[in-house]
Amino acid sequence: MRKLLYIFIFVLLNSFSAFSQDHSWDQIEYQNSTVHDAVISPVPMTTPRFYVKSDQLITKIEVIDLLGKTIYIMRPHNYTFEPIEVNLPPCKKGIYFVKITFDDNTYIIKKTIYR
């Protein structure tokens, strides 16, 4: 009986892997999408101030704590390729996420540490 149960489980697990082998959606083309990147400095921060630099236009910068609470939102007034200075309000030391939104409404999320 136990042997039959093992065979059943083996067949069941292999049937799922057969479905995962047949993807027609693996052929997705990324020709029209643009990959953006940005640099945050300094990392780690020793003061609640950092800079964001990108080769794309940045429209919004959000700073989010580990609990998911947005603690700061900044919309740069002048869209420039120069580094953008972000001055956070008084906050606790720890790990923060920086969500950087670009002019084409795509965004990336970077990590930073405040010590």
pTM of the model: 0.69
pLDDT tens-digit readout, 24-64 = 545 555 455 567 889 999 989 999 999 999 988 999 999 99
Instruction: For residue 31, count other CB atoms closer than 10 A to its CB.
Output: 4
Among 38, 9, 16, smallest CA distance to 99 is for 38
- CATH for 53: 2.60.40.1220
Residue 71 falls inside a structural domain: yes
End-to-end CA distance of the chain: 60
pLDDT tens-digit readout, 96-106 = 999 999 988 99
> What residue numbers bound the domain in which 44 lies?
38-114
Residue 62 falls inside a structural domain: yes
Distance CA 98, CA 61 (A): 7
Residue 53 falls inside a structural domain: yes
Total domains, the chain: 1
